[in-house]
Amino acid sequence: MQKRRTRLALLVGLAMLIPAVAWSQIQVTLWDFMSGGDGVRWKQLISDFNSSQSEVKVNGTTLTWGDPFYTKVHTAVISGQTPDVMTYHISHFPAGLKAHDLRPITESELNSVGLSFKDFNPVLVEKSKEIGNAFGKAGDIYGIPLDTHTSILYYNKDLLKQAGLLASDGLPKGITGIDNFSAALQKIKDTTGALPLALSSSQDPATVWRLFYTLFAQQGGSFTPGGTFSLDQLDTIGAKSLQTMVDWTNKGFMPVAAAYPAAIAMFSSGKAAFMMNGDWEVTTMVDLKKSGKLPFDYGVMAFPQLFDNRSTWADSHEIVIPNNTRNPLSPAKLKAVLTFVAYVEKHSIIWAGSGHIPAYLPVLNSPAMAKLSPNNQFAVQAAKDVYFEPISTVFGVGTPALNYVDNFFFPALSGKMSVQDAISNFKSSIKSAMDQ
């Protein structure tokens, strides 16, 4: 009888512990904007983390990329109803800090989960500090770097071979320099009948801006010549950059109006020889190839040097904590958030599978990263070429500059506005926004 009572008491005790264990699990709310091919890898990281332990559960919500995301973040900060952690673009840091949307993250907080800012790409850490000094509190860092992402060139080996533009090593040939590249586009059009260059140019100012900014930067264009913010080079180098894009459109080298999915479909179906896009579409190509749905052999490379240097538009995904002064994170919730971040960083080889270049040095410099294909075709060179957007509240993801690209560059590309008028209107709009 005594043994039965003992066993019964033990079972009752265990039953009482079950809800206590479930209740003690810390729930972390995450907001992200990873809706493309990279979103699959991001969701895998969340799922893997949740499966790796039972103390913390991350509940992720994917929101609309760009201005809708950052508007929602700011509204949440004002109301005090923020997520616990979220993804962010370093290009939006100036606007986010001006709006007081971001909470600083300290070295000691990272140390608590076995991380240090010394573990990350120093270029990204210094850029974060630079932005923090300009728009936040001097010395503070407001994000934990996840990656560098940049524009690269995708190419159809079958079409390039047909056009006589594929070298014996499988790389494109004769495309260095703006005259050579334009001639190559013409040759592709004449010999294959395919679209030379797939580029999203409709309802997608971000893609148009990335190409424009790359052409601008490769000619030595800068919005801070001599350390002083200036828009003067838009009249010269900026006009030449936009004129190049207009010429490509007029000659039928790239579509006048193609939405983002359509541009990808043009390339992935074998109807275009090149595609200029972000490295995040590596996932799309890898998955299509693996499933047997890609009707050609493809390659990827760092953006080619078309002018004086190799500078190429780039941004960085960061992991940040909202500045929720009404309902700040408890110490336990903060530790849970940072534990998740540490897991993501240490397993970011999975994230690299989306095409992005990891910021966490142990992964970036690992043998696994060196072997990762097709990243090993472009990542080393692309990482050297990165050229970030101006440190300004007017530039970056979800900021006014993209609206002005929409308003003025698109009409120029479609022949409804001269290049001179487009640049003039763009410049005056940027200046007006900066003066506010």
Which pLDDT belongs to residue 21? 45
Q: Kindly report, residue by residue over 34-59, the tens digit of the pLDDT.
A: 987 789 999 999 999 999 999 999 99
Q: What distance in Å separates the CA atoms of residue 362 and residue 346, rounded to the nearest whole number?
A: 8
What is the tens place of the pLDDT at every residue in 311-356?
999 999 999 999 999 999 999 999 999 999 999 999 999 999 999 9
Q: What is the C-alpha separation between 387 and 217, in angstroms, rounded? A: 7
Dist. CA 251–CA 321, nearest whole Å: 47
Contact 281, 271 (CB under 8 A): no
Give the pLDDT score at 9: 52
Q: CA-CA distance, 312 to 426, in Å (whole number)?
A: 21
Reply yes or no on whether the pLDDT at 144 is more than 90.
yes
Q: How far apart are CA 309 and CA 151, in angstroms?
A: 15
Check residue 13 and give its pLDDT: 55
Q: Give the tens place of pLDDT for each residue, 286-311.
A: 999 999 999 999 999 999 999 999 99
* pLDDT confidence bin for 7, thresholds 50/70/90: low
Average pLDDT over residues 157-162: 98
Distance CA 115, CA 360 (A): 10
Candidates 1.10.287.3510, 3.40.190.10, 3.40.50.150, 3.60.40.10; correct CATH number of 26-146+316-365? 3.40.190.10
Q: What is the pLDDT of residues 167-217, one digit of tens each?
A: 999 999 999 999 999 999 999 999 999 999 999 988 899 999 999 999 999
Q: With bands split at pLDDT 50, 70 and 90, how would you rate the model's confidence at 88?
A: very high
pLDDT at 357 over 70: yes
Domain with CATH 3.40.190.10 in the chain: 26-146+316-365, 151-314+390-435
Which pLDDT belongs to residue 201?
A: 86
Q: Which two tokens stand for residue 190?
A: 């004449």
The percentage of residues in the chain with a pLDDT greater than 90, rounded to a whole number, is 91
* Mean predicted confidence (pLDDT) in 10-23: 50
Instruction: State the Cα–Cα distance between residues 318 and 11, nearest whole angstrom.
Output: 47
The pLDDT value given to residue 226: 84
Can you tell me whether residue 186 is helix, strand or coil?
helix
Mean pLDDT within 358-383? 97
Distances (CA, A) of 405 to 208, 397, 413, 419: 8, 12, 11, 12
Among the residues of 59-204, which ranges form H helices?
67-79, 93-98, 107-111, 122-135, 157-162, 178-192
Q: Which CATH number fits domain 151-314+390-435: 3.40.50.720, 3.40.190.10, 3.30.365.10, 3.90.230.10?
A: 3.40.190.10
Residue 23 has pLDDT above 50, yes or no: yes
Model pTM greater than 0.85? yes
